Structure 1
């Protein structure tokens, strides 16, 4: 999951606008929410989960779920999330809200690379302190009441702490900012020797449990550095390589695949007996559902979002346009 946050930081830093924050945020909303709404409705129908609140006491939780902010309302995520990945969109929203301010400050600083480097270091310190405090139970009071509303089981409460506090947005911002720094300093990143990138990736990603144990936190900042090494290797691959064409197609479907893979898989598993046929149906069902969403929902809304994002006068950071979209 952290790799996707790093990629988001890398790609979206070019989309923010210095003078018109509203078009940037509106563009992200148009890009993210329509597919999310369609997937949420389809998943609720497939899995027989609630789609509307049962009473007035669930309205705020429901609205948080509708706007992909369920990770801020644990009971709402528990009650209305039929996708089981919605929590990551809440974390993405914090990045969308913070990025324009950071990009504006970077432009005003006159030294954007140094600014983003300092921001990444500050985020790493914040993330480390947040995870340490969460693991020690010092942040349990944040969601104590919603957790009790979900379950009184102490064992389940520990799992809820990890799901809603330990991996909350402050723990993830390091990955966004590492990605943004790699984009802004792409010329310097391109000069990193391949052997160094491989070494960093192997040491820090080869044994995640050991890395987390050494750092004392999970998620850990070391994982972000290891992913950066892996990302450096990916950037060395020629964009026009023929063997990348199938991956490009998968990339086109990545957001619908991400939203739909869990509910479609669960719906098929509930209805089909184990065996090769079920495996084939899962692969086919997820792919077809994602392709339909891409064609009839994502492409039209992506075009609308791109028009909104272009309304600002110019980008905050002068970087090349990403030819494959804004994600």
Structure 2
């Protein structure tokens, strides 16, 4: 099947981003004990009747995970393990580090930014390495980064199995099923570290469903085998849900993931029109930046406006500020880091390609 650029996933990433931000806006209004008329009407006419009221944010996170599973599998088909790891690191870490450093600096001024208690240098380093999720006593600077612990775990698995993925594409999905099944048997919610590991293992099946979708689309896996692996990963997700009271603790989450997977399969076939437009791709490229910045902006905006959390003015300013700051983060941190690394990578590749020719020339000159 097709191995080209999946334009439809750009549009889906935008929808997922809106869902996540919208869900956090709802929590923002509720925390300030404010009414949000738009959300009340949406709940009464759309989310409530469809029983989606508690699934808006879950839809966004689940969609990001499956889309990531698809895209990362495509990348793994053409990159070495070392290059794969380096490219993923350059893609996600600099922007995350800049946001966490900015939040830490603002939190040190005692400005309300969603951080509980005073912050220390130790808190900063714990957040920069995501260790704050695995050890108690560290303040969380941007709690949405928990999803990156899941993503990075998936990246590590994919990097380690790239040789197998290319030679025996059926083997990594089988290893993933085995690994997650064993981990679910031994991990329990009885401590900070084990709880976070349990969270990671609970959500990993969603990314592996994305991997299976990609392998089938690429023609590397028979559709029936893909269906079997997808069902097994879904059953592991259901098992994780049934054996934990804490994660994901969202009624109907298993059914939601099935719907998202089907939606991704359909959207992958979209290739033209709006989904392939320049604006769609441009906005989609900024969804990671939006994801990183919107929660800190939500908390700090009412303070800067000297108004009560949840007012209409603060809502519109927070929306605009999130968009502007995300664009700046993408333009001046995320995109430049990727470009500079690719330039360095290409320079090294060109040098390696020239080396045999230079050697041949020197040998010829000595004759």
* TM value normalised by structure 2: 0.59
Alignment partner of 1:65 out of 119, 127, 131: 127
Out of 254, 258, 269, the position equivalent to 2:291 is: 258
- 1:5-56 C-alpha deviation (Å, 9 max, x unpaired): 2222111123337884333222222221211111112222344355643xxx
Residue of structure 2 in register with 1:241 after alignment: 273
Return the alpha-carbon distance in structure 1 between the equivalents of residues 301 and 159 of structure 2. 41
In 2, Cα distance between equivalents of 1:213 and 1:63: 31
| TM-superposed deviation, 1:236 | 2.6
Q: Which residue does 1:85 correspond to in 2?
A: 144
Q: Secondary structure at the match of 1:140?
A: coil
Please identify runs of 4+ aligned residues in structure 1 that moved more than 6 A. 211-214, 308-313
C-alpha change, 1:277 and 1:179, in structure 2 (3 Å) is same
On the 8 A contact 1:10/1:182 being kept in 2, the answer is yes
SS at match of 2:161: helix
2:3 alignment counterpart: none
Aligned pairs for 1:89-128 within 5 A: 89-107=148-166, 110-112=167-169, 114-119=170-175, 121-122=177-178, 125-126=181-182
**Structure 2 unaligned spans of 5+:** 1-60, 351-367
Q: Are residues 1:36 and 2:96 paired?
A: yes
2:59 aligned with 1:23, yes or no? no
Pair 1:269–1:41, CA change in 2 (3 A): same
User: What residue in structure 1 maps to residue 202 of structure 2?
Assistant: 171
- Report the alpha carbon displacement of residue 306 of structure 1 after superposing the two structures with TM: 3.6
**In the alignment, is the contact (CA less than 8 A) between 1:120 and 1:178 conserved in 2?**
no
* Mapping 1:145-294, distance limit 5 Å: 161=195, 164=196, 166-167=198-199, 169-186=200-217, 218-219=247-248, 223-238=256-271, 240-242=272-274, 245=277, 246-272=279-305, 273=307, 274-294=310-330
How far does the alpha carbon of each residue in 1:51-93 deviate from its partner, in whole angstroms, 9 at most, with x for none?
643xxxxx4x6533222343233433xx1x3222121112222
- State the aligned residue count: 260
Taking a change above 3 Å as real, the CA distance of residues 72 and 312 of structure 1, as seen in their structure-2 partners, is farther
Q: Is the CA contact 1:70–1:90 (under 8 Å) kept in the aligned structure 2?
A: no
Change (3 A) 1:142 1:312: farther
The question of whether the paired residues in 2 share the 8 Å contact of 1:21 and 1:100 is answered with: yes
The DSSP-based 3-state class of the residue aligned with 2:130 is coil
2:156 and 2:295 mapped to 1: Cα distance? 27
Deviation at 1:270, TM superposition (A): 3.0
CA separation in 2, counterparts of 1:294 and 1:268? 21
Structure 1 gap ranges (5+): 54-58, 145-160, 205-210, 314-327
**SS, match of residue 143 in structure 2:** coil
Task: Judge conservation of contact 1:116–1:181 (CA < 8 Å) in 2.
Answer: no
Note if contact 1:68-1:90 (Cα within 8 Å) is conserved in structure 2. yes
Deviation of 1:297 (Å): 0.7
From the superposition, tell whether residues 173 and 243 of structure 1 become closer, same or farther in structure 2 (CA, over 3 Å).
closer
Distance 2:99 2:219 in 1: 40
CA separation in 1, counterparts of 2:218 and 2:89?
31
